[in-house]
Amino acid sequence: MTRIEALTAALAWEIAGLPVEQQVDALNQTRRALHEVGPFRAEPVDLVTWVRPRTLVSNPCAPKAAVSNDMDMLHVSIREDGFTQPIVTFPAGETRVLVDGVHRARIGRDMPDLRDRMHGYLPVVGIDKAEHDRKGTTMRHNWPWGRHHETGTEVEA
């Protein structure tokens, strides 16, 4: 066993013995540390962290709401296959502004089966963009899903 393998096994053993909330904090902290030294640190998907839904806030440039049937299918998809795509956000201090995945966030937050399975957390990635660049990023991520609105009230998380 290499030194890295031994350290990884020891860290995994330590984290496994923690209560869930401390496990999540430790995993997020470990992922951030590895992300900072990895060759893919410029890629948002390299750092998926787990956050509480209350930390997510609506985006004023978000697309229109999904129809009920689509939300039902999304629930089935996540229930059967898990979260295969993280929720995309702009980190903003203690909160995160939703870029893409507002419906995944709503389903993960509101459906008891998923909320329980994920211990009340949601998977997110962050895109580090200046405030003036965020509208374009939001539009590019959501273009296939319909018209974009300046208020975002239909899809608040």
For 132-141, the pLDDT digits (tens) are 666 666 666 6
Could you give the CA distance from residue 21 to residue 14 in angstroms, rounded to a whole number?
Answer: 14
Contact status, residue 98 vs residue 105, Cβ threshold 8 Å: yes
Q: Which of 34-38, 63-67, 84-88, 121-125 has the lowest mean pLDDT?
A: 63-67
- Region 61-83 average pLDDT: 82
Average pLDDT, the chain: 86
On the question of pLDDT at 26 being above 90, the answer is yes
Q: Which residue has the higher pLDDT, 149 or 21?
A: 21
On the question of pLDDT at 157 being above 50, the answer is no
Cβ atoms < 10 Å from Cβ of 13:
9
On the question of pLDDT at 18 being above 80, the answer is yes
| Listed residue (63, 107, 110) closest to 87, CA to CA | 107
Q: What integer pLDDT is reported at residue 128 of this predicted model?
A: 79
Structure tokens at 106: 């709503």
Could you give the CA distance from residue 44 to residue 34 in angstroms, rounded to a whole number?
Answer: 13
Q: In this structure, what DSSP letter does residue 35 have?
A: H
Q: What integer pLDDT is reported at residue 92 of this predicted model?
A: 85
On the question of pLDDT at 110 being above 80, the answer is yes
